[in-house]
């Protein structure tokens, strides 16, 4: 079965959520197994914090855009 473009686009949030959960769990695991001066821990920590920061900025911008759309739709009225 081929994955259509629409199905792929609709599954992107689930894939991103899975990746970020794996990164957070890897941080928890490495922080309990390794000390903070270990090179592997530093790489993972910086990678996950950067990706989570990008995800946070993207989420905040989408929240602002959706809020603006809701406000514009409310001002147009129910019949527009």
Distance CA 28, CA 42 (A): 13
The per-residue pLDDT for 53 is 87
pLDDT tens by residue, the chain, 80 residues: 566 777 776 777 778 778 888 888 888 887 788 776 788 778 878 888 888 888 888 878 888 888 888 888 888 776 65
Q: Cα-flanking dihedrals φ and ψ of residue 77, to 5°?
A: 105, 170
pTM of the model: 0.56
The per-residue pLDDT for 80 is 56
The per-residue pLDDT for 79 is 60
């Amino acid at each position: 079965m081929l994955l259509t473009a629409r199905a792929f686009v609709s599954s992107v949030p689930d894939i991103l959520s899975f990746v970020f959960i794996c990164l957070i769990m890897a941080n928890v695991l490495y922080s309990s197994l390794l000390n903070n001066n270990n090179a592997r821990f530093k790489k993972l920590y910086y990678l996950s914090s950067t990706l989570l920061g990008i995800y946070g900025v993207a989420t905040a911008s989408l929240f602002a855009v959706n809020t603006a759309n809701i406000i514009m739709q409310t001002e147009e009225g129910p019949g527009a």
